[in-house]
Structure 1
Amino acid sequence: MKRILITGATSGIGKALCLLYQRRNYDVIACGRNQQALAEIGVLKNVSTLNFDLTDREQVIEALATLPELDVVILNAGSCEYINDAKNFDGDLFARVITTNLIALGYCLQSVLPKIKKGGQLALMGSSASYLPFSRAEAYGASKAGVAYLAKTLAMDLVKDEIHVCLINPGFVKTPLTDKNTFSMPMLISSDKAADYIFKGLLKGKREIHFPAVFTFTLKIFAWLPDFVWSFISTRMINK
């Protein structure tokens, strides 16, 4: 039986991944800070839970100190907040998002990397928002661009340890986070569908998993074009 650790396991993509891997007879370690939601998942066969706040370094290190060997680690937890007034920049909001989405990864990596077996997998949850700049996404986009760089450098440096690193870049996925969005979310998919994409991508050993393909490839094409092209398009979208 293979063992997988998943952070942000109490809702959205993380919860869908836990349920999918549990059905596939993996030994699942579900991590989160919502104790009640963790308790609901923890009653399932082959699921154990760890309750901690990933932005608290001491909590992370203490909770993960006695981990067994791991075959797969998916560092999925994250948050999304928007800068609604760039001129009056909210530094506290920026710090919150960067801490949750990027700095907390460092706390987790310190604890989980020594536990991943040779031939194991590490997956980091990025976002297709890192391909291009989007209005109001100064904090979220910057954090996910950092995750992308982190994943790519880890992929190079962990080759000698035989640990495969994958970057996950979803498009719009229906979760409690995206339910708060007031703007149009093209090609929105369910958390279950997102989990299926991730599961299949990791089985194939992909270095990047991005979905849905039509949406993410469209963003990639715009990212390859000169910056002024996307700047012109995005400005027209904002001013509509």
Structure 2
Amino acid sequence: MSLPKDHCIWITGASLGLGRALALRCAREGWRVVASARGREHLESLAAEAADLAGEITPCPLDVTDAEAVAAAVQQVEAEIAPVGIAVLNAGTHRPISAGSFRAGDVEGLLKLNVLGIANCLEALLPRMIARRQGRLALVASVAGYAGLPTAAGYGASKAAVINMAESLKPELDRLGVTVQVVNPGFVQTPLTDKNDFPMPFLMPADDAAEAFFRGLRSQRFEIVFPRRFVYLMKLLKILPYRLFFALTRRTVPSR
């Protein structure tokens, strides 16, 4: 599968980390990329970095938690640039949440960006893709959505919701000509993971992760995963009996 001729790929959360690396990889392939994030300066530097590549990157500053702004942005992109053939809904964030400092507001913030941000994009995109009976949606979740892990009560819950959302939409959209994929990365070296103060097994450079992501977009797989060894370990973890599961996850609880 490739990007349909005269269509564009829209990537949210494209200013830094994995989203940025993927935008550049797509532009190297000659694809027309629309890059969205809240930071205009990062997007403009991304577009400048792609100036000599086969494709092009057009900045589209956007806060995906603003449903009206998302709808307006999609309308503008399709009217002035190209129909969205592929949408990579990647905008998201992480905030560790411990039992001792649990705040509902922290969970709300993660759900608002990581889940409702994707839902806002889907609301704007689905009628257009369904009408064309063509399109590909890649919803970026995480292996943290497989099972509850210490300090991830908000982040993991949000990513589990994204996985469930993709699974729920796929059967119906298959019949309507729209492809849905869920993307479950392990640890990827980004400004977000640079803040982590715990071991990150199989930490993957962003460019390598973007290459794996790009290959996944060109496949018919429902789930795109990387790095594979870590993902398989996480899949094994989630099917263990709770007695064994908690025996292992307790070892990762920070000592006080």
In the aligned structure 2, how far is the partner of 1:137 from the partner of 1:78?
14
Q: TM-score, normalised by structure 1?
A: 0.94
Q: Does 1:80 align with 2:90?
A: no
1:162-201 matches, within 5 Å, as 162-201=177-216
1:13 alignment partner AA: L
1:18 alignment partner AA: A
Q: Is the 8 A contact 1:35 1:51 kept in 2?
A: yes
1:124 partner SS: strand
In the aligned structure 2, how far is the partner of 1:205 from the partner of 1:182?
36
Partner deviation per Cα, 1:113-165 (whole Å, 9 max, x = no partner): 23335342110001001112110100000000000000111111211211111
2:77 partner SS: coil
Give every structure 1 segment of 4 or more consecutive aligned residues whose post-TM-superposition deviation is greater than 4 Å. none
Report the CA distance between 1:78 and its aligned residue.
0.3
1:29 is matched with which residue: 29, 34, 39?
A: 34
Report the CA distance between 1:232 and its aligned residue.
1.1
Q: Greater CA deviation, 41-50 or 195-204?
A: 41-50
Q: Is the 8 A contact 1:67 1:115 kept in 2?
A: no
2:176 is matched with which residue: 161, 171, 175?
A: 161
1:103-182 matches, within 5 Å, as 103-116=116-129, 117-182=132-197
1:60-71 matches, within 5 Å, as 60-68=70-78, 69-71=83-85
1:83 alignment partner AA: I
1:5 is matched with which residue: 3, 10, 14?
A: 10
2:154 partner SS: helix
Report the CA distance between 1:239 and its aligned residue.
6.5
In the aligned structure 1, how far is the partner of 2:244 from the partner of 2:14?
38
In the aligned structure 2, how far is the partner of 1:106 from the partner of 1:29?
19
Q: Is the 8 A contact 1:132 1:223 kept in 2?
A: yes
In the aligned structure 2, how far is the partner of 1:236 from the partner of 1:158?
41
Q: Greater CA deviation, 108-117 or 169-178?
A: 108-117
In the aligned structure 2, how far is the partner of 1:174 from the partner of 1:50?
24
1:41 maps to what in 2?
Answer: 46
Q: Which runs of 5+ in 2 are unaligned?
A: none
Q: Is the 8 A contact 2:91 2:117 kept in 1?
A: no
Report the CA distance between 1:101 and its aligned residue.
0.2
1:95 alignment partner AA: E
Q: Which runs of 5+ in 1 are unaligned?
A: none
Matched residues, number: 239
In the aligned structure 2, how far is the partner of 1:76 from the partner of 1:235?
30
Q: Does 1:225 align with 2:240?
A: yes
Partner deviation per Cα, 1:14-58 (whole Å, 9 max, x = no partner): 000100000001111111110101111233352212111111222
Q: Percent identity, aligned pairs only?
A: 35
Report the CA distance between 1:65 and its aligned residue.
2.2
Q: How much is the aligned-residue C-alpha RMSD, in angstroms?
A: 1.5
2:189 partner SS: coil
Report the CA distance between 1:103 and its aligned residue.
1.0
In the aligned structure 2, how far is the partner of 1:63 from the partner of 1:163?
21
1:17 maps to what in 2?
Answer: 22
Report the CA distance between 1:88 and its aligned residue.
4.0
Describe the shift of the 1:239–1:58 C-alpha distance in structure 2 as closer, same or farther (beyond 3 A): closer
2:190 partner SS: coil
1:56 alignment partner AA: D
Q: TM-score, normalised by structure 2?
A: 0.89
1:59 maps to what in 2?
Answer: 69
In the aligned structure 1, how far is the partner of 2:119 from the partner of 2:138?
13
